[in-house]
Structure 1
């Protein structure tokens, strides 16, 4: 393809992605509110259902504004060749190709993030605050930003520099070497994220001795699951929403319970939630998810290798010569439809895994307390109990609440 054709293709893909996403969101937010199902009687009333719909609409309207603004800016950047203009400007001062690309992405990343700060701030301190979820302080908000920048520079910059070096040294064959590097990084991240990265943002405290810990230990022993690392995370530092998650393998496996989860649920419900998380491990979901991520990364890198030295793609973005960083940006845009299809497949598998983990908790512990915990979580977080089926198919990594309750009850 010549550069003009590629330029129009980029504009078409970006436009399609925007329109498709907004249509799906519109269908979901405007889906008729149905009657409160009998299974949620006593948990959800008309006022709470109205509040949940208001929360959904507030998020939709805010997303429509920010998404449209981002869409328009992206069109302008492509249409006026501003991606290429930044490349030409940097080349006046930087000759080293690796340093050039690192600086280029540094400017793009930090610039876009600084641009988004007012919107992130509004969402946190206006929307989330209005609906009673935000517990973060302004200091915490900006400290999170600074820590995020630092990690991006150290980890993201290191990985990007490695990728660029391999591209310059190996040409199109870079992809399988960097695939190995990326796969090792994904494995290490799974093993050490909770121990090394998460404590930079949240405080992790070992679960204190007592009835809850005894109940958790008793259950984990009953299913042959050695569990020594159970931590409580100060999730209330930022939000009143509750959660729990599992990470790691072998001796490094950890279960993390938000302090908000412990505050909002009974001991029996907490053990049921833990049983669900252990179910993911016992059913091999952690490993299969890692394998799927590795395969997906390999596919992306291989396709990238077909574009990374394309001069027409660089020229389509306004460059005057072939530039690896311009081609990476162009590729990320062109790959969007494929990424969406992959995402749909990954979400389907994730929903299937959630059902399996629910069933594991039901058969090895008890279904009713898990169902109760899900009802409480859903109502307290103002979740949409009647989402549009198409929206679920495309975006949901977890099954809708009523589908999960149907199988549990």
Structure 2
């Protein structure tokens, strides 16, 4: 019964996700945008054609990705995959390390290797075909190895903490694990800008006098330290452009891709900075952290309840007293469960984007923000129109029409 319920959950998730992707593909192909609409946002039918082709390719890749991963999960659960994994663990664990951590490490490597060909195809076929990829194959595999090593180190530390608490605190393990998760999560967010990001990219403080003169008064007016504004060498991997806010407290910073600085005028850069400062002033980062922590509390409590069902683990060939078995099961099922609450996070994200835009409108020229958004959308081949249901579930940002209309109010 438990096994069938899990398989139904995975299949339902896959069908719904694939249905939405196919629905979006059909919408993109059939949607019409008038010349008048395009003229109002300074775009052309040629741009629409390129944007549609790029996004349809990404959606086709998403369908394939969902099919492959869902099939692999069902095969793993249906054919005693955990027992096979444990046997492999016993064979490779020649130095008698903690069997649980070795089991988890092998599982992470397995998942990462599944992702590798998909990521390779996306980078060197789709992104390259549309003029975005600037990454060499050597850099791609270097990133892959570094990401894998970093993931194994971070997750091993976290897992060993979980394992100790799981086996030491009886029925209260879920609460203590949550406390450790809070400390870990806050530490990662705090250290990410200064320890993790620099492993993959170079970050320099903005030293262009034209840009600095344009943003200094904005930084002073909003009490945001101009030394917290950085430029990142995103161009060594991609032609995409972006800016983002990261970290908090003394390690907070706003990061511009170098491709974005090359694209925008000083006044447009000022407007984008005002938008990112808006996220900081409106405490959107803090909001995300609080939601994440509350969600994790609920998750760990539900994990505790589910772990008590020995029959569930028995049907899957797993042991509910094994920390690695518990973590592996939940890592397979959690994306399926979280997917169905994705619309809530998307709605909140779009609300935050409107708030940041409104803040930028107060502290910079709205026309500069509009022109910067148009350049950014055009540079990244963003869709001009998207299916309403697809947008509701996935889109973290309002459409270009929605943002411009809001800015013109």
**1:129-155 CA-partner distances (Å, limit 9, x unpaired):** 000000001111011111111111211
Q: For 2:341 and 2:5, how far apart are their aligned partners in 1?
A: 21
Does the CA-based 8 Å contact 2:193-2:251 persist in structure 1?
Answer: no
CA spacing shift, 1:98–1:227, aligned 2, 3 Å:
farther
**1:68-112 CA-partner distances (Å, limit 9, x unpaired):** 122222222222122233235535786999922211121121122
| Structure 2 partner of 1:11 | 7
Q: Report whether the alignment pairs 1:33 with 2:31.
A: yes
CA spacing shift, 1:259–1:171, aligned 2, 3 Å:
same
CA spacing shift, 1:364–1:8, aligned 2, 3 Å:
same
| Structure 2 partner of 1:87 | 86
Q: For 1:98 and 1:396, how far apart are their aligned partners in 2?
A: 44
Q: For 1:396 and 1:109, how far apart are their aligned partners in 2?
A: 29
**TM-score normalised per structure 2:** 0.93
User: Which ranges of structure 1 fall in alignment gaps of 5 or more residues?
Assistant: none
Q: Report whether the alignment pairs 1:247 with 2:243.
A: no
| Structure 1 partner of 2:135 | 136
Larger deviation, residues 157-166 vs 169-178: 169-178
Larger deviation, residues 233-242 vs 32-41: 32-41
| Structure 2 partner of 1:377 | 376
**1:112-142 CA-partner distances (Å, limit 9, x unpaired):** 2123322211110111000000000111101
Q: For 1:308 and 1:393, how far apart are their aligned partners in 2?
A: 34
SS of the residue 2:231 aligns to: strand
SS of the residue 1:20 aligns to: helix
**1:19-71 CA-partner distances (Å, limit 9, x unpaired):** 00001111111112221474642632111111111111111222222321222
| Structure 2 partner of 1:283 | 282
Does the CA-based 8 Å contact 1:309-1:322 persist in structure 2?
Answer: no
1:234-313 to 2 correspondence within 5 Å? 234-313=233-312
**1:261-304 CA-partner distances (Å, limit 9, x unpaired):** 00111111111000000001111111111111111111111111
Q: For 2:85 and 2:212, how far apart are their aligned partners in 1?
A: 56
| Structure 2 partner of 1:210 | 209
SS of the residue 1:245 aligns to: strand
Q: For 2:320 and 2:173, how far apart are their aligned partners in 1?
A: 21
Count of residues in correspondence between the two structures: 405
User: Which ranges of structure 2 fall in alignment gaps of 5 or more residues?
Assistant: none
Does the CA-based 8 Å contact 1:175-1:305 persist in structure 2?
Answer: yes
Q: For 2:121 and 2:279, how far apart are their aligned partners in 1?
A: 35
Does the CA-based 8 Å contact 1:101-1:325 persist in structure 2?
Answer: yes
CA spacing shift, 1:260–1:320, aligned 2, 3 Å:
closer
Does the CA-based 8 Å contact 1:314-1:323 persist in structure 2?
Answer: no
Q: For 2:406 and 2:138, how far apart are their aligned partners in 1?
A: 44
CA spacing shift, 1:106–1:394, aligned 2, 3 Å:
same
> Of residues 1, 17, 20 in structure 2, which corresponds to 1:21?
17
SS of the residue 2:239 aligns to: coil
Q: For 2:384 and 2:326, how far apart are their aligned partners in 1?
A: 42
| Structure 2 partner of 1:49 | 48
**1:214-252 CA-partner distances (Å, limit 9, x unpaired):** 211111112333332211100001100011111233332
1:170-209 to 2 correspondence within 5 Å? 170-209=169-208
Does the CA-based 8 Å contact 1:88-1:319 persist in structure 2?
Answer: no
Larger deviation, residues 129-138 vs 328-337: 328-337
